[in-house]
C-alpha cells in the first residue's frame, strides 16, 4: 500500500515515515519544505518526494491519485504565530484540508488520518478533557484546526470517506527542532544546552499533557489499521506543569541555569490534559513513554538533530 503523508518532512511526519516503511508500505511525501527539513526523511527506494503545497489544488490531486491512504500533517503550527499571520493560517490549515478532501473524493480514496490539535478546546471548562468538551479556541491556529475538523467530518460523511481526526495534545520528541513559535521543550533545550536562563511565561503552574512523538506515530498507524472514523484525543492523561518541565529539562541536561518569568502570552490556555478513553477503546491506543524518559531521550539526541 502507498501512503501519502502531507508535511512529511516536518517533526511528526518524519517520525511516521520510517515506521510506515517498516510495516512494508511505500510513502509519497507532499511537502513544500518551507518550514521543514528534507534531510529528516529517510533515504529509501520506498520514499517518493513530491514537492508541492496543500494550498495548490493541482499539487494535491497529483499526490492523491498515486496513493491509497492519506496522513494529513501539513499545516501552519503555533498559537502565537497564528496571531501574527491569521490569513496564512486559514489558507494553509483550512483550504489545504478542503483541497485534500475533494481530491480524495475524486480519487475515490476511502481513508484519511488528520492531525488535529487540543488547541480547539481553548480554556478548559473541566479536566480531563474529553472529546465532547466545548470548543472555544483562543487563537486562529485552534480555530483553523477546529474548522478543518468540521470540514473533515461533514465532507467525509458526504463523500463516503473515513476520516480519523486525532487531537494531539503537547507533542515532543526526536527531530523536533527549535522554533521560537513552536513547542516549549525545544525552546527550553536550546537555552539549557547553551547555558542560558529559561523564560517561563506566566507563573509556570499552567499544565500541559506532554506526549512523546513515538506514541503519536503509533496512534496514527492504529487509526489507519482499524479504519477509524471520528474524533479522538491523543495524549497521556498526565498533567505536567511548565515549572515541572523546566526542572526535568535542567536535570536531564545536567546544567545549572536560572529560571526567569515573564508576562503570560495571549492565545495560550492555562490548563490542558486529556482523557484518552475513546482512543483506548476504539483504537487500542495507550501511551508508553513517560515525560521523564521522553525528555531524557530528547536531550540525549538534541545536539545531533538541531
> Domain extents for the chain?
2-172+212-235+275-288
Distance in angstroms (rounded) separating the CA atoms of residues 254 and 248: 10
Kind and range of the H or E element at 142? helix 140-159
One digit per residue, the tens of pLDDT, for the chain of length 306 reads: 999 999 999 999 999 999 999 999 999 999 999 888 888 899 999 999 999 999 999 999 999 999 999 999 999 888 778 888 899 999 999 999 999 999 999 999 999 999 999 999 999 999 999 999 999 998 999 999 999 999 999 999 999 999 999 999 999 999 988 776 668 899 999 999 999 999 999 999 999 999 999 999 999 999 999 999 999 999 999 999 999 999 999 999 999 999 999 998 876 788 999 999 999 999 999 999 999 999 999 999 876 565
Cα 255 to Cα 11, 249, 260, distances in angstroms: 26, 9, 15
User: What pTM was computed for the model?
Assistant: 0.94
Exposure letters 156-191 (e unless 16+ CB within 10 A, then b): beebebbbbbbbbbbbbbbbbbbeebbbbbbbbbbb
pLDDT of residue 35: 80
pLDDT of residue 84: 87
Please give the grid coordinates belonging to residue 231.
474524533
Exposure letters 249-279 (e unless 16+ CB within 10 A, then b): bbebbebebeeeeeeeeebbbebbbbbbebb
Nearby residues of 176 by Cβ (< 8 Å), 6 or more positions away = 11, 182, 183, 185, 186, 213, 298
Domain at 2-172+212-235+275-288, CATH from 3.30.1330.10, 3.60.20.10, 1.20.990.10, 3.40.50.720: 3.40.50.720
Please measure the distance between the N-terminal and C-terminal CA atoms of the chain and give it in whole angstroms. Answer: 32
Residues with a catalytic annotation lie at 141
pLDDT of residue 107: 94
Distance in angstroms (rounded) separating the CA atoms of residues 58 and 120: 29
pLDDT of residue 269: 82
Amino acid at each position: 500500500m502507498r501512503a501519502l503523508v502531507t508535511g512529511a518532512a516536518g517533526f511528526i511526519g518524519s517520525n511516521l515515515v520510517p515506521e510506515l516503511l517498516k510495516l512494508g508500505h511505500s510513502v509519497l511525501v507532499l511537502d513544500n519544505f518551507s518550514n521543514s527539513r528534507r534531510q529528516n526523511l529517510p533515504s529509501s527506494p520506498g520514499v517518493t518526494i513530491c514537492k508541492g503545497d496543500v494550498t495548490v489544488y493541482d499539487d494535491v490531486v497529483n499526490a492523491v491519485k498515486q496513493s491509497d491512504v492519506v496522513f494529513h500533517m501539513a499545516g501552519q503550527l503555533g498559537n502565537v504565530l497564528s496571531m501574527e499571520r491569521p490569513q496564512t493560517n486559514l489558507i494553509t490549515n483550512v483550504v489545504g484540508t478542503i483541497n485534500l478532501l475533494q481530491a480524495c473524493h475524486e480519487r475515490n480514496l476511502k481513508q484519511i488520518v488528520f492531525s488535529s490539535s487540543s488547541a480547539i478546546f481553548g480554556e478548559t471548562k473541566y479536566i480531563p478533557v474529553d472529546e465532547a468538551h466545548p470548543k472555544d479556541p483562543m487563537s486562529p491556529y485552534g480555530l483553523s484546526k477546529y474548522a478543518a475538523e468540521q470540514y473533515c467530518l461533514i465532507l467525509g460523511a458526504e463523500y463516503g470517506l473515513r476520516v480519523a481526526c486525532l487531537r494531539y495534545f503537547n507533542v515532543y520528541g526526536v527531530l523536533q527542532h527549535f522554533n521560537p513559535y513552536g513547542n516549549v521543550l525545544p525552546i527550553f533545550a536550546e537555552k539549557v544546552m547553551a547555558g542560558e536562563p529559561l523564560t517561563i511565561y506566566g507563573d509556570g503552574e499552567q499544565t500541559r499533557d506532554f506526549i512523546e512523538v513515538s506514541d503519536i506515530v503509533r496512534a496514527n498507524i492504529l487509526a489507519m489499521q482499524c479504519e477509524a472514523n471520528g474524533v479522538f484525543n491523543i495524549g497521556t492523561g498526565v498533567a505536567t506543569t511548565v515549572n515541572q518541565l523546566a526542572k526535568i529539562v535542567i536535570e536531564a541536561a545536567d546544567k545549572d541555569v536560572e529560571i526567569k518569568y515573564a508576562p503570560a502570552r495571549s492565545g495560550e490556555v492555562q490548563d490542558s490534559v486529556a482523557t484518552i478513553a475513546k482512543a483506548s477503546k476504539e483504537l487500542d491506543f495507550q501511551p508508553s513513554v513517560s515525560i521523564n524518559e521522553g525528555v531524557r531521550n530528547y536531550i540525549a539526541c538534541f545536539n545531533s538533530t538541531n
